[in-house]
Amino acid sequence: MTAISYRKADVDGLKIFYREAGPRAAPALLLLHGFPSAGHMFRDLIPLLADRFHVVAPDLPGFGQSDMPPRIGFAYSFDRIAQVIDRFTEIVGLNRFALYVFDYGAPTGFRIAAQHPDRIAAIVSQNGNAYEEGLSDGWNPIRAYWQEPSQANRDALRAFLTPQTTHWQYTHGVADAATVSPDGPSLDNFYLARPGADEIQLDLFGDYKSNVALYPTFQKYFRTHKPRFLAAWGRNDPFFLPAGAEAFRRDMPDATVRFYDTGHFALETHAREIAAAMREFLAD
């Protein structure tokens, strides 16, 4: 059995919870989760990799078991989240590491990679987008809020925070919904129901436009540094389209792109397949 440790790191006064497994001397692998989840989304993946990698999976600030400081005094933006996670890697001793990025983890990890290209050994993007063509029409209500940040447009986004929507995110595009454990969406909904969590998530919906604005910067990083890159994509994702996965090869012709017949949370149904692809990809 793989031993997984559950720890908290003090990141300049902010407690960041993380899961850790595997030998510390092994190649490091940083797993970055997405909305509305936390590091628990990697519960099936970590044991499949920890024999060969030092795996570290933090909860982003405001998510999971990490601190959720009040919005007064802490800006819930992707720049700020990336700064915290960048500092986290220094505190826990990840000097050079491969990145696994998903959803919100992608703009977080891509910021870190673009700032510290020498620290990145490889990137695995599982439904983590960096191209306009990867954004589906599912983003239209959020785009409306970017264009007109009115209270009405902000309130319209509360539909994304309901238990029903969380469950839908996990099961949409999955061949058999009975294969998706209720544990993930149940825990996500627990975190979303905490007082103040809704306003934090609405802030991040609004700030996601900063990620789209940085797509050219991310793409320049890909072209310039050409990191070893694997796109492992649930092809039925309602938010991030397969075209976004294919687009990585425009800037990194040697990138590997693999599609799986599942939805957004691909690890819920294809953890073994994705882990096998990662082991092969990271073997060299």
- Contacts (Cβ under 8 Å, ≥6 apart) of 189: 163, 166
Q: Is 1 exposed, middle or buried (0-12, 13-18, 19+ CB in 10 A)?
A: exposed
Q: Are strands 229-234 and 256-260 parallel, antiparallel or unpaired?
A: parallel
Determine the 3-state secondary structure of 243 from DSSP.
helix
Q: Token match 């490091």: residue?
A: 28
Rounded to 10 degrees, the C-alpha dihedral 164/169/171/175 comes to 150
CB 120 within 8 A of CB 208: no
Residue from 134, 174, 126, 127 nearest 281 by CA:
126
**Residue whose entry in the numeric block shows the structure tokens 């990697």:** 42
Instruction: Give the Cα separation of 148 and 10 in Å (integer).
Output: 37
Q: Which residues are catalytic?
A: 264
Instruction: Measure CA of the first residue to CA of the last residue in the chain; give whole Å.
Output: 26
The backbone torsions φ and ψ at residue 124, rounded to the nearest 5 degrees and listed phi first, read: -115, 120
Q: Is 175 exposed, middle or buried (0-12, 13-18, 19+ CB in 10 A)?
A: exposed
DSSP tag of 170: H
Q: Hunting for tokens 């604005």 — which residue is that?
A: 213
Q: How far apart are CA 155 and CA 270, in angstroms?
A: 34
